Amino acid sequence: MSSNILSSKSKLIANLNTSWKMRFYFWQKLPSLMFWGVKIKYCDIDKAEMTIPFSWRTQNPFRSTYFAALCGAAELSTGILGLIAIEGRGGISMLITHIEAEFYKKATGLTTFTCAEGKKIEDIVQKAIDSGEAQQVRVTSVGTNASGEAIAKVTLTWSFKRK
């Protein structure tokens, strides 16, 4: 990878880890995440962690976090890794083509979604660039509560294609 691409990725990662810049981005591009109170806890080229609170904004009638809000936080944890992977690489589109979710426990507090498959995403983006064809990758994000218990597992299939 060229030094320009690495520099561009480093700048993006620094911006992603700056809370006020992400709140501004959410406000402009992803208002539902802003409304739900999703926050980027940490991200780098390999791993991303997002938190979503249990509050009146995310609550369903059963007094737990609404499944769509949980899936939104899980999607962001994988999508951030996709954004980092395509940074500085020219026009590359990314799209979710499939989603699967398993819910194990009621989310009644802060839930943290973690995806540690950045390398897998980087590799598939490079394959899409090299082949000129759309490439798909399945990545998983696991949501845990404050005690470390699994709340949900969301597997998303992302498609990357050079424009």
Which tens digits make up the pLDDT trace of 80-100?
999 999 998 889 999 999 999
Per DSSP, helices labelled H in 18-112 are 19-29, 31-36, 67-86
| CATH number, domain 3-162 | 3.10.129.10
Q: Which residues contact 35 (CB under 8 A, 6 or more apart)?
A: 57
Q: Is 158 helix (H, G, I), strand (E, B) or coil?
A: strand
Q: 98-142, pLDDT tens digit by residue? A: 999 999 999 999 999 999 999 999 999 999 999 999 999 999 999
- Position 8 scores a pLDDT of 86
Angstrom distance (rounded) from CA 113 to CA 154: 9
| 3-class secondary-structure state, position 161 | strand
Domain boundaries, the chain: 3-162
* H or E element that contains 34: helix 31-36
